[in-house]
A and B are shown apart, each in its own frame.
Chain A
Amino acid sequence: EAQVTQNPRYLITVTGKKLTVTCSQNMNHEYMSWYRQDPGLGLRQIYYSMNVEVTDKGDVPEGYKVSRKEKRNFPLILESPSPNQTSLYFCASSLLGYPPGELFFGEGSRLTVL
Chain B
Amino acid sequence: GENVEQHPSTLSVQEGDSAVIKCTYSDSASNYFPWYKQELGKRPQLIIDIRSNVGEKKDQRIAVTLNKTAKHFSLHITETQPEDSAVYFCAASRRGSQGNLIFGKGTKLSVKP
Which A residues are within 8 Å of any B CB, using their own CB?
31, 33, 35, 40-45, 48, 50, 56, 58-59, 90, 94, 96, 98-103, 105-108
Q: Are B44 and A42 in contact (CB under 8 A)?
A: no
Q: Are B103 and A105 in contact (CB under 8 A)?
A: no
Q: Are B99 and A50 in contact (CB under 8 A)?
A: yes
Q: Known: A41-B105, A42-B103. Is A90-B9 also a contact (CB below 8 A)? A: no
Cβ contacts A to B, 23 pairs, < 8 Å: A35-B103, A40-B9, A40-B105, A42-B103, A42-B104, A43-B44, A44-B103, A45-B99, A45-B101, A45-B103, A48-B99, A50-B98, A90-B43, A90-B44, A98-B95, A99-B49, A99-B51, A100-B93, A100-B98, A103-B44, A105-B44, A106-B43, A108-B43
Q: Are B106 and A42 in contact (CB under 8 A)?
A: yes
Does any Cβ of A come within 8 Å of B45's Cβ? Answer: yes
Does any Cβ of A come within 8 Å of B96's Cβ? Answer: yes
The interface bits of chain B over 78-112 (1 if a CB of A lies within 8 angstroms of the residue's CB, else 0) are 00000000000100010110110111111000000
Per a CB cutoff under 8 Å, which of A33, A40, A44, A90 touches B99? A33
Which B residues are within 8 Å of any A CB, using their own CB?
6, 9, 32, 34, 36, 42-46, 49, 51, 89, 93, 95-96, 98-99, 101-106
In the bound complex, CA of A90 to CA of B42 (Å): 11
In the bound complex, CA of A45 to CA of B1 (Å): 13
The tally of CB-CB contacts under 8 A between chains A and B is: 60
Residues of B within 8 A of A90 (CB): 43-44
Residues of B within 8 A of A106 (CB): 43
Residues of B within 8 A of A33 (CB): 99
Name the residue among B45, B89, B99, B103 with the largest chain A CB count within 10 angstroms.
Answer: B99
A2 → B minimal CB distance (Å):
13
Known: A102-B49, A105-B45. 5 other contacts (CB 8 A): A40-B105, A90-B44, A98-B32, A103-B101, A105-B44
Q: Are B9 and A103 in contact (CB under 8 A)?
A: no
A111 → B minimal CB distance (Å):
16
